[in-house]
Amino acid sequence: MRNLGKEDIIRVYDHFKKSAHASFESGDHDKAIEWVSACSRIAYHSNFFYTDPELDGLLRDIAQVVCGGDIRVEADTPGDRLVFIDTDGSDNHGLTQQYIRALIAAGAEFAYVYEDADLGRIKTILGEIRDYPKATVITFEKGNSDIHKTRAIADFIREYRPRKYIMHILPWDAVAVMVCNLLKGVDRYNINATDHAFWLGASCIDYCIEFRDYGYTVSLEQRGLKKSQLLMLPYYPISNGAAFKGFPARIPEDAVKVFSGGSFYKIYGEKGLYFDMVRRLLSENPQAVVLYAGAGNGSKLKRYIKENGLVDRVILLGNRGDIDGVFQTCDFYLGTYPICGGLMSQYAAVSGKAILAYTDPKLGINMIEGLVCHQDQAHITDTSLEGFYARGKRLCDDETYRREEGDHLKRCVIPPLVFNDELRYLLENNVSKRVGRKEYVDYEAFSDLHLEVENHYQPNIQMYVALRLRWKTALKFPKIFVNAMTIKMSRILKIK
């Protein structure tokens, strides 16, 4: 396979964007929206840039045509209704439940708009909303087009007349951004849950809710947003309360259980350093075992475990729905690298478990402190490997130290009542109680990491381009076509 360079990916992005404009000019608005979303997926997986006002503007032009002009809510409109539009939420994942519970606690009148037709993902969320008399739920049927959804939401908002519009959306959600572009006299917010990457809509929002200084910095430096638009509000994790299903019987009862986990892509890159960190950690601490729970393609980790004789020391748990019980039963948490797990780190902290983590200083996105230390400060992330191994040994050897570290982290995470109060204040004043601070971000190092992952571990962009363009890929982007066919054939041969 031939490695992709930045110029190869930019060429794909530009081709997709030209196709979006051409589709709009020919009157094919559905296709234009598809191309805009496709551009966004390419940008999200590459991290060469973080916003594109041209795409936002194209979505505005499409929305104007298909919805018949702006949606204006007059300043003297009575009430304080909100619309919360969601594509990034599911039960016990994302930030939907934290925000919905805070709105309910504040007694707010709101409409919850869920774009995905699969309501099975939000059973708990829907149950909580439908039990609240001041909420309205808007959902869609399978097969509804993006234009149908945009028109339906626009028509609803014209009647509902909210004062605020809050987006909790996927980076390529064109529908929510088209509606956002139409709103006049409405405060428009984006919950920046994907603060490390590209997302649509930065040029059409009034406020961006940031959960850490890393995202605050990226929004200032790369998205063109002003300090006055950036509102700081960290979040807490949602517990599902599922019963603990136990660990495999072959794990010794007296072993130090080091839990690690997250989507497998988070441990790929930096020449497999995470794998080597695990191997040395176990070599220096014979009483320890590593338990890994995650989803995705784990073939490289499985091969490493076998080739290095770690079958009895690294145990793969699969995708665990009883994550609370897993954390309660482990001894401490090992952070993933080169991409840390934000939600997993928070679960560890609220479970009172110490966190062992490393990052190269150039990858500041991995500083766990920004994800956990909301109410108090703590040292969590080592930026030297020797410091990491020394702390790992102490955590394995000293039960009292583990407990004290975990108890401290438990006090660091923002509690639900504080979150509720700060969101209410934020929405009432368009100012946050917390102040963001700029930090150093090495954008080139981060985009280089994504390029390494694309070329050597998970070819998301290449497979997506081949799927979208099919045989046209061979004509437009022959390198990507050859790579995608090679990957596909290797997967078929492995299955056989």
Residue 377 has pLDDT above 60, yes or no: yes
Same domain, 433 and 409: no
First to last CA, the chain: 21
Residue-wise pLDDT for 213-229, tens only, equals 999 999 999 999 999 99
Q: What is the mean pLDDT of residues 196-211?
A: 97
Same domain, 81 and 17: yes
Q: What is the mean pLDDT of residues 264-269?
A: 92
pLDDT at 496: 40
pLDDT at 359: 97
User: In this predicted model, which residue has the larger pLDDT, 268 or 495?
Assistant: 268
Same domain, 270 and 168: no
Amino acid in the structure at residue 46 = S
Same domain, 175 and 213: yes
pLDDT at 93: 84
Q: Nearest 5°: phi and psi at 258?
A: -95, 115
Domain termination site, one of 388, 413, 438: 413
Residue-wise pLDDT for 405-421, tens only, equals 999 999 999 999 999 99
Same domain, 174 and 232: yes
Q: Nearest 5°: phi and psi at 114?
A: -115, 120
Residue 120 burial (10 A CB sphere; 0-12, 13-18, 19+): exposed
Residue-wise pLDDT for 332-352, tens only, equals 999 999 999 899 999 999 999
Count CB-CB contacts under 10 A for residue 333: 28
State what percent of residues in the chain have pLDDT above 70: 99
Task: Establish if 263 belongs to a structural domain.
Answer: yes
Domain termination site, one of 357, 385, 413: 413
pLDDT at 321: 85
pTM of the predicted model, to two decimals? 0.95
CATH number at residue 91: 3.40.50.11380
Residue 87 has pLDDT above 80, yes or no: yes
CB 358 within 8 A of CB 333: no
Residue 41 has pLDDT above 60, yes or no: yes
Same domain, 442 and 328: no
Q: Which domain holds residue 267?
A: 256-413
CATH number at residue 360: 3.40.50.2000
What's the domain count of the chain? 2
Same domain, 137 and 229: yes
Residue 6 has pLDDT above 50, yes or no: yes
pLDDT at 90: 87
Task: Report the greatest alpha carbon distance in the chain.
Answer: 71
CB 136 within 8 A of CB 160: yes
pLDDT at 297: 84
Contacts of 202-209 with CB under 8 Å at 24 or more apart are: 202/50, 202/51, 202/53, 202/56, 203/51, 203/53, 203/56, 203/57, 204/56, 204/60, 204/177, 204/180, 205/167, 205/180, 205/229, 206/430, 207/231, 207/430, 209/233, 209/426, 209/432
State what percent of residues in the chain have pLDDT above 90: 89
Q: What angle do CA 115, 118, 123 make, to 5 degrees?
A: 100
Same domain, 409 and 419: no
Residue 453 has pLDDT above 90, yes or no: yes
* Whole-number Å distance between alpha carbons of 366 and 332: 18
Residue-wise pLDDT for 228-241, tens only, equals 999 999 999 998 87
Task: Establish if 482 belongs to a structural domain.
Answer: no
CB 4 within 8 A of CB 484: no
Task: Establish if 32 belongs to a structural domain.
Answer: yes
pLDDT band at 79 (very low <50, low <70, confident <90, very high): confident
Residue 492 has pLDDT above 90, yes or no: no
Same domain, 301 and 189: no
Residue-wise pLDDT for 16-36, tens only, equals 999 999 999 999 999 999 999
DSSP assignment letter at 90:
B
Mean pLDDT for the chain overall: 95
Task: Establish if 487 belongs to a structural domain.
Answer: no
Residue 401 has pLDDT above 60, yes or no: yes
Same domain, 398 and 428: no
pLDDT at 94: 87
Q: Nearest 5°: phi and psi at 446?
A: -70, -40
At residue 423, the 3 state secondary structure works out as helix
Same domain, 5 and 154: yes
Q: Which among 248, 269, 242 has a CA at the least distance from the CA of 327?
A: 242
Residue-wise pLDDT for 160-188, tens only, equals 999 999 999 999 999 999 999 999 999 99
Task: Establish if 492 belongs to a structural domain.
Answer: no
Task: Establish if 476 belongs to a structural domain.
Answer: no
CB 331 within 8 A of CB 256: yes
Task: Establish if 80 belongs to a structural domain.
Answer: yes
pLDDT at 99: 98
Same domain, 78 and 56: yes
Task: Establish if 472 belongs to a structural domain.
Answer: no
In angstroms, the Cα distances linking 72 to 56, 185, 336 are 19, 6, 46
